[in-house]
Structure 1
């Protein structure tokens, strides 16, 4: 059976996609539900990321349940970040500010945890690269 595909204007992605095979949909729905729960935790906990989990949930729901994807994309808290990413590959200003504060805080936690200098240097390089990439995205 040929998979059902949707026009890109229905899902906001630049390319059309097909639903996962029927056998894989429950796993993708579970992944979407867990990622949505993790995003909800990020709303409450200041250093827990929200946007990456919301994007993961949108990706999983887009391939398993158009109804759940539509719910997530229209959600007042998660929807704007998901739409900004899928339409313009943009990261909201607030998410950038949180990242700009949490990346150095993460490195400071490693430093306070007495991580060897090689680990500090490697983590610093990765965190710096991630921060530069995040800040380079449009908002």
Structure 2
């Protein structure tokens, strides 16, 4: 006897599509972040894995199983840890970005906001366990 799969409700289909689209956007931003020193990579990949949980478990599995992209996501999901090399890279890029803003004479108001935001992010990164 044939079993008929119930059709997905329209809002479920839209929700799945949105999770899938947001996941791919985050993967794209993560890859851009791997090339550009001023954008993060791991944060976007962790977000992509989150979105793919509901959008496409198959793509999520591919992402977390990827030999290059997967380990930072798995470290974060398993223990909330960040590899020391990644911490150093993140802090270096923050310092480089703030230094560039100073060199290019950004307004003091912008420099203060940037320094405060980066300090908070750096503190968060430094307080995570090492992978």
TM above 0.5: yes
Q: Which runs of 5+ in 2 are unaligned?
A: 1-10
In the other structure, the counterpart of 2:34 is 43
**Structure 2: distance between partners of 1:113 and 1:45:** 18
Does structure 1 residue 77 correspond to structure 2 residue 45? no
Runs of 4+ off more than 6 Å:
none
**Structure 2: distance between partners of 1:64 and 1:90:** 25
**Structure 1: distance between partners of 2:21 and 2:89:** 28
**Alpha-carbon deviations, 1:54-87, whole Å to 9, x = none?**
1111011012111111111101111111111111
Equivalent residue in structure 1 for 2:102, among 91, 105, 111: 111
**Structure 1: distance between partners of 2:35 and 2:121:** 23
Structure number, greater radius of gyration: 2
Q: 1:86-101 counterparts in 2 under 5 A?
A: 86-101=77-92
Equivalent residue in structure 2 for 1:127, among 118, 128, 131: 118
**Structure 1: distance between partners of 2:98 and 2:37:** 16
Q: CA deviation at 1:111?
A: 1.2
Give the length in aligned residue pairs: 120
Q: TM-score, normalised by structure 1?
A: 0.77
**Alpha-carbon deviations, 1:21-60, whole Å to 9, x = none?**
3321112111111211222233334443210111111011
Q: Which runs of 5+ in 1 are unaligned?
A: 1-19
Equivalent residue in structure 2 for 1:68, among 59, 67, 75: 59
**Structure 1: distance between partners of 2:85 and 2:73:** 14
Considering only aligned residues, what root-mean-square deviation do their CA atoms show, in Å? 1.7
